[in-house]
Amino acid sequence: MTTRIDRRFEAVRAEGRAALVTFVMAGDPDPETSLDIVRALPKAGADLIELGMPFTDPMADGPAIQAAGVRALAAGMSLRKTLALVRAFRAEDDATPIILMGYFNPIYVYGVDSFLADARTAGVDGLIVVDLPPEEDHELCKPALAAGLNFIRLATPTTDDKRLPAVLANTSGFVYYVSVTGITGAAIPDYGKVTGAVARIKRHTDLPVAVGFGVKNAETAEAIARGADGVVVGTALVEAVRLSLSEGRATPATVEAVSAVVRDIAAGVRRVSKKAA
């Protein structure tokens, strides 16, 4: 079965460029503004959208994304409301892929079968669940695939050739290569090593490889786009939200603040042509 994620990467490949994958936290800084931000992302140049599922113990996230989750939870965001946000987005946009990213606990509490049914109905296309290793594929990965959702796995600089086949076994949609070790927003990657790492992953899979961590502006996006099928940006966007707030609340500048960063990064991605000579 071909999914929205598959179709979007095919379309971007036909354009001869990398895809831009944007991450924002669902419900940050409040549910209404969050929906407005998500609606604005494709217009600003986003090809795929990762939507964070707020969680109280986000151990793989850096301070900026942790703070975004805290703001969202304080505003009353929940997994059920996250799915409602996706449904509202889908009423206006039936093409842009939506990937939910986060941790297994909220899904477990919701109930895996109920969550997958509701996510599919809402218009979710894929899942990234950072704390479920391949050894736990029976918990969520395989049921998600059976429900028609892509399950996107993370690979890191420490994922060696011996481990890669296990990581890729049930991965679909694309592979998310985390270009630095550690938490989100922590460091700038070595772009030469990124290109080599993507090539190594591609020896094991035909899936697109999107690279994240360390994308802050057009220049860093352009550097990563040269060696990857997709460029992922998250911390820069949640920081744009934070910097736009007044006393912790959204302002008239909030949506445009995020859109401006996306437009800048999208321009950097699009400067790299991947058309065959």
pTM of the model: 0.95
pLDDT tens for residues 76-130?
999 999 999 999 999 999 999 999 999 999 999 999 999 999 999 999 999 999 9
What DSSP letter does each residue of 192-221 carry, written as one string?
Answer: HHHHHHHHHHHTT-SS-EEEESS--SHHHH
Q: Is 50 a catalytic residue?
A: yes
Length of the chain: 277
Which among 47, 50, 222, 239 is annotated as catalytic?
50
CB neighbours of 123 closer than 8 A, spacing ≥ 6? 86, 87, 89, 90, 94, 98
Across 57-61, 120-124, 157-161, least confident range: 57-61
Q: What is the pLDDT of residue 179?
A: 78
Please give the Cα distance from 175 to 155 (Å, whole number). Answer: 7
Q: What is the pLDDT of residue 195?
A: 86
pLDDT tens for residues 1-45?
789 999 999 999 999 999 999 999 999 999 999 999 999 999 999
Q: What is the pLDDT of residue 274?
A: 85
Which among 30, 61, 229, 239 is annotated as catalytic?
61
Sketch out the chain's domains with CATH numbers: 4-270 (3.20.20.70)
Q: Is 6 a catalytic residue?
A: no
